[in-house]
Structure 1
Amino acid sequence: MAGTTHTVTNQAPPLVQYDVFRADRVLVEAVERHLDPDVLDEGLSELSGLGLTAGSAQVQEWGVLANENPPALRTHDRYGHRIDEVDFHPSWHRLLGKGVSAGLTAAWDRPGGHVRRAAAFLVWTQVEAGNCCPLSMTHAAVPALRTDPALAAEWEPRLTSMVYDRALRPAGQKPGALFGMGMTEKQGGSDVRANTTAARPLAEDGAYELTGHKWFCSAPMSDAFLVLAQAPGGLTCFLVPRVLGDGTRNVFLIQRLKDKLGNRSNASAEVEFAGTWARRVGEEGRGVSAIIGMVAATRLDCVLGSAGLMRQAVAQAVHHTSYREAFGGKLVDKPLMRNVLADLALESEAATTLALRLAAAYDDGGEGERALLRIAVPAAKYWVTKRCAPLAVEAAECLGGNGYVEESGMPRLVRESPLNSVWEGAGNVQALDVLRALRREPAALDAYLREVGRARGADHRLDAAIKNLLTDLADLDAVEGRARRLAERLTLTLQASLLVRHAPPEVADTFCASRLSGDAGTTFGTLPHTLNLKSLVTRAHPTP
């Protein structure tokens, strides 16, 4: 029983029963900006429906339960037969089913499909990020499969289906299928050319037998996987089905599940191939080029996922401080807290604006847009994912001690926040990929400069940043040691250009002042006090 002094006051109510999409003004504006008018109303309605689902108390509880009840590996059944299955909490399956039915695997060849999916991915990440991994893998497998038209014709309809079927049976008997991926090996990491998994050709055309080990295999209960292995002609991409066409299970030995810092609801595994049947994707020796489309798409999802985590962290911080009172007034009205919140909101807005611009480039599909993606995706993946972790920690601090308690949801965001900077190539890999694009693909730099140049003359700080960037780019010899700084500046300049062109003047002004001219400290909450910070906080408020 409660004591006589146990009266609860001055606590913020839960942030539930609201439209996660419509409450995000930056995201709504980006969708309105990038979607064609003929699909805009449909897209907004679709996203609002998902936003209401994501903001409901029931679905948020599913996210909590999926996180608190992580997957469990069952290597054998009660009779001793090897089964290699992963059991998930029912909430995981409910979330995954909602994600599939919302079109998170169905962007390709759909009008405005990538922008609509990007916005949906950003919304759905805010419920529970773990289930977004198989959704991302499945979506990203399409461009890899398209290197082999026969395989694409067979598998693409299953991958882009909006029906989730969890049953472990031949994919040809299911209304929809999910994909995982296995590239990394313990001895090579990101250096996939050091992979030792061997592929031996079989009598059947295009069929191989795989033998080897994968140190990280994403979503091990998926229907099929794209993996890299050494064929006689060199490193090659393969499709490994979980269940063969005759109903027998392929040799897919799950040795253990990784015990991860965050992303607890999602299973990541070490797997062994021992006479595993596989189908070649593309030509022998062309494995990296075959799978590169998948890698690029998942890297964009890293940007989207981090943008979603940032948005949820900011929404929780602004919501809490709008109710919490201290020192004679609401926390949100205190000048120093307002500075922190405005800085967090600014970072979140820049991430969302950039992520949706890149999704729009996928929808466009033109040569110039593809060239822009080649340099902008790894640069954005480097910088946006790096900013996620410090933002999540600072947002949790806005809740004080409450933000350090699991029930607030903030610790889950903090644990999740470093993931996207590691997944699909850590920071150094992204920075080096930016350098590779700059050195080998002049069209990529031309496309980038055209994009940032659209805002030239609108802000003197942006003009100066472009000029300084051009000076740096003039000498790419011995640049590897400063590749991170270069990737950072490329991203900040691109974000500034987008905000100058599309955001309210106070947002663009604050970004250019704090991110380009250096008129701010190294931590959040050090924006110049002369700027209009209140409007940034108001803009970020998740109004139910």
Structure 2
Amino acid sequence: MTQLPPAERLATHTVENQPGLMPPPDLWAGDAPLRAGVAAQGGDAQALAAAAARFGSAEARAEGEEARRDAPRLVLFDRGGRRLDEVRFAPGYHSLMQAGAEAGYAAVAWEGRPGGHVTHAAMVYSLSQVEPGVCCPLTMTYAGVPAMEADPELAETWIPKLTARAYDPAIAPIHEKRAATLGMAMTEKQGGSDVRANTTRADPDGDLWRLTGHKWFCSAPMSDGFLTLAQTEAGLTCFLVPRWLEGARNAIRLQRLKDKLGNRANASSEIEFQGALAHRLGEDGQGVRTIIRMVHHTRLDTAMAPAGLMRAALVEALWWVEGRRAFQKRLIDQPLMRAVLADLALDWEGALAAGLRAARAFDGGDEGERALARIAVALAKYVSNKRAVPVIGEAMEVLGGMGYVEDTPLPMLYREAPLNGIWEGSGNVICLDILRTLAREPRAGEALAAELDAAKGAERAYDAALETHRMRWPGLPAESEARWFAESLGQLFAASVLIRTAPDAVAAGYARTRLGAPRGLMPGAVSGLDEGAILDRLAQG
């Protein structure tokens, strides 16, 4: 339907020098670095083009706004006082969950086609630009599949429902559903990341178990099942807790919804298991070993999401500077603005390249690629999330006061920016995991070294930085230097991917400003970038 334009001539002034409403950007055809990265790493371009058309549509963006505006509501009881323990969502939330599920967000990596994890990772990147809240339950559903393989009988029941290209929010036991979602509940008050301090206990009940305890964080509490940890006589053990039983609700009591900074469309809760029925998953006393397979895969998504958030913020900033003038010049034509935006774009390019390369390692069929996946995903998660907050903050500043107003998506993106750096291991946890992986798994270090060496000889700044890194740390660093070590190694990894897959302006610009020549601390405090070529990459379809 044709829309009449808004009135520009008002009673007191004429509206001018205000960029119009940006048309929904094409998340595939309008993103040349994504297309090139997917091609380089072996993803499914056709599937991604179709998913992007749905995720990036005006309809999807309106659904995302509705899901955030009409936030999840906790409904504990019915009118007669009977327990419900339900969360109600806006229709837009359910529509986007359906869109993600039907596109294959949780399924494509497990369908046996080449490049499945790369395709999945690119879907995370795309959907994160529109409504990150629905990514959480979809990500956990995707990531739960390899953990479920610890029990063939449970896997036979659950995996076909987790990987169905459908969305079924019905309150019903698993065998009555077309599709299912999976959540996770590990964290307790007293332990946080130290899950071995968990006190939730599991008592045998025939072939099943009864769980009693409290969980401080449980995301997506309307999932059809949860992987959780509880103590048995053998120690910390992993369990699958179904949300709904045959003819009854499992004894999972919702205590409250978390009042979070962002991720508002997704419900996060505190829960109590009050004798909840559960299936043991994996060996008794080996809970961390079992659930870590789910954690490993959720970390891939926390490495990809910040690239999507940065992309969305930079597209908004570019639209603004191309449509607004100051001091008789378009903002995009002003040298300092170009330097800032080009510098920010390099962080986005590095995050996208590192995330897609890590995803390809998840797809790898040999032990070298699988070993690389274990270290690469941690490096990408750490560096990309540490850059997301300042990049999105600077993009907000580009718009001036408008960037701070909810009429634009910048406030939402800024609230989302810290999340993936916290979820599935905050910065210190990830850096210590990097040291542990390199200490315990020599193949991971060997695979990473080969990956870094493969980029040598093309860019002097990269070669010098790699040599400096290896001279500074011939072995593993002291724990107090773990962040410095992880930052250096993570940026070298991103640069190595860009050198092999991106144009010289991007690859050399990243290497020289992140690894080589002196620079200031703030975005835009650089020199020598080919700003035109870098900004063309941000703008071109």
Which residue is equivalent to 1:23? 30
The percent of aligned pairs where both chains have the same amino acid is 49
User: Following the alignment from structure 1 to structure 2, what is the Cα–Cα distance between the partners of residues 209 and 188?
Assistant: 22
Q: Which moved more, 1:287-296 or 1:321-330?
A: 321-330
Name the aligned partner's letter for residue 101 of structure 2: V
Counterpart residue number, 1:98: 99
CA positional deviation for 1:542: 5.8
**Which residues in structure 2 correspond to 1:520-539 (within 5 Å)?**
520-528=519-527, 530-539=528-537
Question: Structure 1 residues 459 and 3, CA, compared in 2 at 3 Å: closer, same or farther?
Answer: closer
Out of 156, 167, 177, the position equivalent to 2:170 is: 167
TM norm structure 2: 0.96
Matches within 5 A, 1:236-315: 236-244=237-245, 246-315=246-315
1:194 is aligned to 2:191: no
Offset, 1:372? 0.8
The change in CA–CA distance for 1:281 and 1:443 in structure 2 (over 3 A counts) is same
User: Quick check: 1:77–1:83 contact (8 Å CA) kept in 2?
Assistant: yes
SS at match of 1:466: helix
**1: CA distance, partners of 2:457 / 2:111:** 37
Partner of residue 177, structure 1: 180
**What SS does the aligned partner of 1:408 have?**
coil
For the 8 Å contact 1:299–1:377, the answer to whether it is kept is: yes
Using the TM superposition, give the Cα deviation of residue 472 of structure 1 relative to its aligned residue in structure 2, in angstroms. 3.4
Q: How does 1:442-453 map to 2 (within 5 A)?
A: 442-453=442-453
Report the TM-score when normalising by structure 1: 0.96
Shift of 1:535: 1.1
State the alpha-carbon separation in 2 of the partners of residues 471 and 63 from structure 1: 49
Which residue is 1:89 aligned to? Answer: 90
Q: Once the two structures are superposed, what CA deviation does each residue of 1:190-223 show, in whole Å capped at 9, x if it has no partner?
A: 000000000011112xx11000000000100000
Q: Secondary structure at the match of 1:482?
A: helix
Conservation of the 8 A alpha-carbon contact between 1:140 and 1:294: yes
- What aligned pairs does 1:196-235 form with structure 2 within 5 A after superposition? 196-204=199-207, 207-235=208-236
Partner SS for 1:407: coil
Alpha-carbon distance in structure 1 between the residues aligned to 2:365 and 2:153:
22
Q: Counterparts of 2:442 and 2:362 in 1: how far apart (Å)?
A: 20
CA distance in 2, matches of 1:542, 1:82: 54
Contact 2:117/2:362 (<8 A) preserved: yes
Separation in 2 of the partners of 1:274 and 1:32?
50
Structure 2, unpaired ranges of 5+ = 1-6
**Cα shift at 1:475:** 3.6
The within-5 A match list for 1:12-411 is 12-35=19-42, 43-106=44-107, 107-111=109-113, 112-204=115-207, 207-244=208-245, 246-411=246-411
Q: Secondary structure at the match of 1:421?
A: helix
Contiguous gaps of at least 5 residues in structure 1: none
Residues 315 and 542, structure 1, Cα contact 8 Å, conserved in 2: no
Q: Which amino acid aligns with 1:16?
A: P
Paired AA for residue 379 in structure 1 = L
Distance 1:209 1:175 in 2: 27
Distance 1:369 1:277 in 2: 38
Amino acid at match of 2:33: V
**Runs of 4+ in structure 1 displaced over 6 angstroms?**
none
Q: Is residue 314–residue 395 contact of structure 2 (8 Å, CA) maintained in 1? A: yes
Asked whether the 8 Å contact 1:164–1:176 carries over to 2, the reply is yes
Q: Deviations over 1:36-93 (max 9, x none)?
A: xxxx7xx323222222223322211111111112101011111000110001111111
What SS does the corresponding residue of 2:248 show, helix, strand or coil?
coil
SS of the residue 2:339 aligns to = helix
For residues 10-43 of structure 1, the C-alpha deviation after alignment (integer angstroms, 9 at most, x for no partner) is: 22222334311221111100111122xxxx7xx3
Structure 1 residue 503 and structure 2 residue 510: aligned?
no
Q: Deviations over 1:521-543 (max 9, x none)?
A: 11111121x33111101110165
Using the alignment, how far apart are the partners of 1:14 and 1:350 within structure 2? 29
Counterparts of 2:110 and 2:158, CA distance in 1? 13
What amino acid is the match of 1:519?
P
Q: Per the alignment, in what secondary structure is the counterpart of residue 455 of structure 2?
A: coil
